[in-house]
Structure 1
Amino acid sequence: MSKNFKPLYVQLAETLVKELKAGTSPFQKPIKENGLPAFVKPINPITGKGYSAMNAINLALKGYDDPRWMSADSASYAGYLVKEGSKGTLINFPKKSEIQAMRTPDGEKIKGADGKTLTRTVEFDRVINEKAFLFNGTQIKDIPSLQEFLEIAAEGKKLSPLEQAEKLISDTKATIVHGGQEAYYDKIKDEIHLPEKSTFENDTKYYQVAVHQLAHWTGHETRLNRPMEGRFGSLEYAKEEFRAATAAMLIGGELKTGHQFGSHAAYAGSWARMLKDDPFEISRVSSDAQKIANFLLSIGQKQDVKQTTTSNDTLTKGDVIAYNDTFYTVLDKRGKSFEMEKGDTGERFKMKPTDNLFAGLVAARNNPPVQQMKPEEVPTQKIGR
């Protein structure tokens, strides 16, 4: 690879700086000229899995309406071919395993009755950082039509996008105060303030704004505990807005409600300067936004689990748990050990069910802190106006 090759975070930061300055970024223009969302959740149609925040943003900036992305190898294994002359899009990811083609002793690929190459998954001893180039569904020959893919994906969906958004908001049990003209999160009172639903252009706009404020709500010390002390107009304030806007975009893509940041032009300028001065900030923003999205999207799943089981004495991949003034994220479970991440430092470690910390995390996850009502005279700290 060329010595002049730029890391993904640098490429993405430079692209976003240009688009933020031009007013064409997905944050400023959530709807494209053709009327379709500027951000759709990128997905691997073979595995059914999505892509992490930084990769998802990078893929979305390519402007395709088709959400399907895969590598040339994945396409080949599925019996598809990348169209000649197609240019791949770079992603970075932690690689824990690899899908390999099954081969004969002579090295020939083994194919099934349907003509597709048989594969196997090989687990690595340790996680490695990997690069790959993906191709959009429109760049691949013989792949089923997008309409067919979307129809299959929609099968079994019981709730509409707006019903999913309503359920997400309800499941958080966040305190939401309706009234007034402003939408903001008050960290001191731990309250979300929203105008009355009837004042919004439509229900979709209401849920988009509500999700954005819920993203701020996750920063409270009893949840993800992010720094949120900056005053309106400060760099710290702009950083929190960047994280909330990115998380709202990810969640809107997941729920298919879209996102709407509004006409906050001042933030765009601050974000552009931020990324120009420190391109790696896009990696930090993406990481925090992914944690926010995981936290909110998993709340409903946890509620469903609680309704079907009387007790849960283990941890689940994706759990984000506030415990002893920090939070822990369950990244994966391998055998009897859990791969964990502590706080926002990125510190990773392995934990066994016999460790004392394990019991504490299970108890904290099953019994989250109860929110207490605050007296009206408590001062406010508006975030996300």
Structure 2
Amino acid sequence: MSKTFKALPIQLSDKLIGEIKEGNSLFQKPVKENGMPAFVKPINPVTGKGYSAMNALILGMQRHDDPRWLSADAARYAGTWVKEGEKGTLIEFPKTSDIQAIRTADGQRIKNEEGVTQTKTVEFDKPKTGQAFLFNGSQLKDVQPLEEFLAKQNEGQTLSPIERANKLIEDSKAVIIHGGQEAYYDKQRDAVFMPEPEHFENETKYLQAAIHQLAHWSGHEDRLNRPMEGKFGSLDYAREEMRAAIAGILIGGELKIGHNFGQQAAYMSTFAKILKDEPFEIAKATRDAQKIANLLLGVSQKREQKQAPEVGFKKGDEIAYMDTTYKVLETYKTKSIKVEDADGARKVLKPDYGLYKSLLEAKTNPREPDMVLAEEQGQSEEQGQQQKIGR
């Protein structure tokens, strides 16, 4: 890797600073010129899973209308191809294991009688940082039309985005007091204060503002216990605003209601200063925003859309693995498969064979572990009191 390569959080911070200065960041422009939301929730179309917060922000900042993202290998296994000249978008993920070739003492690969390299799964003591370049659905050819994909995604969804947002607010059980001209969270009273709904341009704007304040509400010591002692206008106050703003982007993308930070003018210069002076703060902010989104969306609840079907083998599958390609010649009721490698060697693999499991892993998730939305929720240090947050 080049010595001049910047860590991904630094790259993200630099890009955000540039967009803030130009006035076109996700915080400042929640809607694109074509009328579509500026942020579309990224999704792996093969598994139906989303990506973790920092990766979702990186992918969403590409401003594609298509939510689908795959690596070049995953796209090829799905029967699609990256268009010539397209550039991928770099993401990072925690890698807990790796499939490696078994080698002799002098480093030579050990192969079986058929000439197939023998492998082993190595579990890491601590997660390592893995990287992958992803491509958007609009960068792929022979891909399912976007309208068909979205229609299938929405099958079984009985609630509209507005109804889902209202349900999220109701399910939070937060105390919401209407009246006045300001929208804010009062930590001392543990209550959200909102102007009357008719004060807003439309119901969507009201719901977006309410969700933003619920993001602050999540930081109470009885919930996620975030430090929120900063005074209005301070850097600590702005850090909390950044977390709530990113959470609003994630939640708005999940509900398909969009987001509207609202107070962007008051915080943009401070956001840019934090990102410049502390570029790795974006990694911390996105982790906290992920926890906020998890809490408000309810990570214990099943996704309302249908889940992707279980992945298995089918006759004709061609799977690149290690230094060869395996073609599935037959599948059996026992789930065993007959495969042929690139050298013409054939064998029957049972589900408990290591090579069977490795091929299934390579087909299901080729060099691209999925980023699930759920993260463990942690406790932070004891907080001070702050009456109004999110003004």
TM bin, normalised by shorter chain, reads: 0.7 to 0.9
| Cα distance, 1:274–1:63 mapped onto 2, change above 3 Å | same
Q: Is the 8 A contact 1:168 1:300 kept in 2?
A: no
Q: 1:157 & 1:25 partners in 2: Cα distance?
A: 31
- Offset, 1:22: 1.4
Q: How does 1:208-357 map to 2 (within 5 A)?
A: 208-298=208-298, 301=301, 342-344=378-380
- Offset, 1:15: 0.3
CA offsets, 1:106-157, max 9 Å, x none?
Answer: 669xxxxxxxxxxxxx794553320010001111111101111000000000
Task: Give the residue type in structure 1 aligned to 2:12.
Answer: L
For the pair 1:68 / 2:68, whether they are aligned, the reply is yes
Instruction: Work out the number of aligned pairs and report it.
Output: 304
Q: 1:11 & 1:142 partners in 2: Cα distance?
A: 32
CA offsets, 1:287-339, max 9 Å, x none?
Answer: 1101111111117829x9xxxxxxxxxxxxxxxxxxxxxxxxxx99xxxxxx9
CA offsets, 1:243-290, max 9 Å, x none?
Answer: 001101100000001000114312011000110111101111111101
Q: 1:77 & 1:299 partners in 2: Cα distance?
A: 30
Q: Is the 8 A contact 2:291 2:377 kept in 1?
A: no
Q: 2:173 & 2:286 partners in 1: Cα distance?
A: 25
Counterpart of 2:321 in structure 1 is none
Counterpart of 2:144 in structure 1 is 144
Q: Is the 8 A contact 2:212 2:248 kept in 1?
A: yes
- Offset, 1:380: 7.5
Task: Give the residue type in structure 1 aligned to 2:379.
Answer: G
Secondary structure at 1:301's aligned position in 2? coil
Q: 2:43 & 2:29 partners in 1: Cα distance?
A: 22
TM-score, reference length from structure 2: 0.73
| Cα distance, 1:123–1:214 mapped onto 2, change above 3 Å | farther
CA offsets, 1:341-375, max 9 Å, x none?
Answer: 64249xxxxxxxxxxxxxxxxxxxxxxxxxxxxxx
Q: Is the 8 A contact 1:246 1:289 kept in 2?
A: yes
Q: Is the 8 A contact 2:67 2:137 kept in 1?
A: yes
For the pair 1:25 / 2:31, whether they are aligned, the reply is no
TM-score, reference length from structure 1: 0.74
Q: Extract unaligned runs of 5+ from structure 1.
A: 109-121, 305-330, 333-338, 346-378
Q: 2:377 & 2:129 partners in 1: Cα distance?
A: 16
| Cα distance, 1:55–1:380 mapped onto 2, change above 3 Å | closer
Q: Which residue, 370, 382, 390 being the options, matches 1:384?
A: 390
Q: Is the 8 A contact 1:172 1:299 kept in 2?
A: no
The percentage of counterpart residues that share the same residue type is 61
| Cα distance, 1:341–1:196 mapped onto 2, change above 3 Å | closer
Counterpart of 1:10 in structure 2 is 10
Q: Is the 8 A contact 1:168 1:299 kept in 2?
A: no
Q: How does 1:175-186 map to 2 (within 5 A)?
A: 175-186=175-186
Secondary structure at 1:93's aligned position in 2? strand
Task: Give the residue type in structure 2 aligned to 1:268.
Answer: M
Q: 1:149 & 1:270 partners in 2: Cα distance?
A: 40
| Cα distance, 1:156–1:96 mapped onto 2, change above 3 Å | farther
RMSD: 2.7
Q: 1:124 & 1:148 partners in 2: Cα distance?
A: 39
Secondary structure at 2:298's aligned position in 1? helix
Counterpart of 1:111 in structure 2 is none
Q: Is the 8 A contact 2:249 2:258 kept in 1?
A: yes
Q: Is the 8 A contact 1:167 1:300 kept in 2?
A: no
- Offset, 1:65: 1.2
Q: 1:293 & 1:199 partners in 2: Cα distance?
A: 26
Secondary structure at 2:129's aligned position in 1? strand
| Cα distance, 1:270–1:155 mapped onto 2, change above 3 Å | same
Counterpart of 2:51 in structure 1 is 51
Q: Extract unaligned runs of 5+ from structure 2.
A: 101-111, 305-370
- Offset, 1:3: 2.2
Counterpart of 2:165 in structure 1 is 165
Counterpart of 1:319 in structure 2 is none
Larger RCO, structures 1/2 (Cα 8 Å, 6+ apart): 2
Q: 2:79 & 2:235 partners in 1: Cα distance?
A: 50
